[in-house]
Chains A and B, each alone.
Chain A
Amino acid sequence: MSDRLAPDPLPRRDFLGLAGLWTAGIAIVGSVLGMMRLPKPRVLPETARKFRIGRPEEYPVGSAQVVPGQQVLVLSEAGGIAAISMICTHLGCVVSKTPTGFICPCHGSAFGPEGRVLAGPAPSALRWLEVSQTVDGRLAVNADREVDPGTFFQA
């Protein structure tokens, strides 16, 4: 018996066919994966969310005022001034101020006057935002920077 008649482990033609098929398969899967990269932007279309809120004198000790046009409450105590985000940590609705704290109109989360969760589905306390003072003496809130709850800014 000549070795030409011995069975080939994998005939050349089958090998080439399989190689072609796998190459096509990998190319297609690779292109699809590559295309799926597109919907995830590398740079997000966002504007800086730092805004001025006026002079410290406008916030007398003991006051709690909502900044017009912003979802931020400015709290003024003896220890200084703080800004609490009014965006609900549950699903992003804007909470409203009540005598006892905050309440969310969408799913009923209730927060204390300093943003601690009292009831409802919110997973965490309202965020406290960074307060700073610009060179002209006015206060600014940066909605992109979170600070630890209880951090008051001394003007």
Chain B
Amino acid sequence: MPDERLAPIGAETAEVPDDTRPWHRRDPIVRTLLSDPWTVLGAAIVIAFLAMAILAPWLAASDPERGNIISRLQPPSTQHWLGTDGLGRDLMSRLLYGARLSALIGVLAIVVSGSIGTTLGALAGYFEGWVDTVVGRTVDTLLAFPGILLAILVLAVLGPGLNSVILAVGIFGIPTYARVVRATVLSVKQLDYVEAAQALGARHLTILARHVMRNSWAPIIVLTSLNFGTAVLTASALSFLGVGVQPPSPEWGAIIAEGRQYIRVAPHVTTITGLFIFVTVLGFNLLGDGLRDATDPRTQSR
């Protein structure tokens, strides 16, 4: 039986009205998200992309790596919805399996960059001092390699292939996580309850894990959506350049690299595949932007 003296004043009389609204109308963040058509579009694209990736073996009409050379470079038809490529392989099937590769690369690369970047950023933001200096310099050095060049250098060391691409794209994403998490932790750390926990004598790592990080999830989720899009884009660019996932693998960038020689006779191979990359990345970016607007207190009131 709880002590009644500890109950908040008025608690025994105040009547909480039964909220009969469905859950998605009650939560302010979810409500904001659903009220923005662009965010909904982004979420729909992301769901469709993930469905393609998961259901590829059931949706694909034929083997993505086997084709009939007689029916090569066919434009879209009822038999081959998106046409065939230079080796007579069904483009739709290849794109479905390609979604699987992109999703795999995206998820694992995010695991790499998210775990390393978040840890570095959290430690730098919480402890400041020399830890912050060391992390800051490391991030500066990673950022000194312009864009995709760092990923290319990693691939030069590891050689081409799926695993190398995952690692290269993962390392490429570390600085953004480290920076965003550091900034978030710096501001959350200032809050009263963190000071209270410190005054109670809690250990630093406990405070960081239990109190600071649990209240820093919003920017991390936003960043993950945006970084997923970047990961898909970077991986396809690396494969297009020939240093990433190699043909005959149906990676989207590799499909475009292969289809490039036929742009005069069969432009559908490159244009349709590129459209898939474009729409997928757009989906993650729209969703990420929507999540940012919904969780950022500065834009919430608008």
The answer to whether A and B interact is no
